[in-house]
Structure 1
Amino acid sequence: MASSFYYVAIKGALASSDCDAFGLDPEEISALTKRFPNSKAVVTNGLSIKGPPLTVINTLCQLGYKVVSSTGEIEITWTLQRETSA
């Protein structure tokens, strides 16, 4: 059976207490909003999460994601990937 991959992006600054997430499915949005109350879908095509970027990334890693790339200096965008069955 062939595998396919699903990607999400997290954007934020290391010293920030919030970040933005893009590409999450509804179940992942539900899980993150339970873990990080006061998070809102106020970002175009994304979710504003009231939690530090690295804490959010660690939470997504518990859901099966791994960081595959990052770019930026002050504000960083991390790309995360998880494998799905096709």
Structure 2
Amino acid sequence: METKGSQNVSACNLASVPIAEDGVIYIAIKGSLHASDCSVFGLGNEEIKAITKKFPGSGSNVVNGVMIKANVLQAINALCQLGYKIVCSTGEAEITWTLQRDI
């Protein structure tokens, strides 16, 4: 689903994700606790390779992100292994979690 003003960015363009001035980077993961897939936004190429290797069938592009073929909690746990921590969440039926990692 494309939103007004959004741009379709392929996974190969995510390597140049801007780094925040305070020494952390942020990503977002969006999904439902009742679904078997979710979307992650803001990952770099190496992180995309790692997460798609862990969850076969993942990697199809979504607008500005990548689809992960796993329950959102499994994906969050995998991202935590890459050094990310949840900093906030919002939503009800479909939730968006913001995660951060120190660089």
> Shared fold (TM-score greater than 0.5)?
yes
Name the structure 2 match of 1:72: 91
What is the alpha-carbon distance in structure 1 between the residues aligned to residue 27 and residue 43 of structure 2? 6
Aligned pair 1:10/2:29, yes or no?
yes
Structure 2 counterparts to residues 1-86 of structure 1, below 5 A: 4-84=23-103
- TM-score normalised by structure 2 residue count: 0.77
Deviation sequence 1:40-81 (CA, Å, 0-9, x none): 232011001100000000000011000000000000000000
- Amino acid paired to 1:21: V
What is the alpha-carbon distance in structure 2 between the residues aligned to residue 13 and residue 3 of structure 1? 31
Name the structure 1 match of 2:7: none
The CA RMSD over aligned residues, in Å, is: 1.2
Deviation sequence 1:21-58 (CA, Å, 0-9, x none): 00000011000110011112320110011000000000
Aligned residues: 83
| Structure 2 spans left out of the alignment, 5+ residues | 1-20
| Structure 1 spans left out of the alignment, 5+ residues | none
Structure with more of its chain in strand, by fraction: 1
What is the alpha-carbon distance in structure 1 between the residues aligned to residue 22 and residue 82 of structure 2? 17
- TM-score normalised by structure 1 residue count: 0.92
What is the alpha-carbon distance in structure 1 between the residues aligned to residue 80 and residue 59 of structure 2? 21
**Which 4+ runs in 1 deviate beyond 4 A?**
none
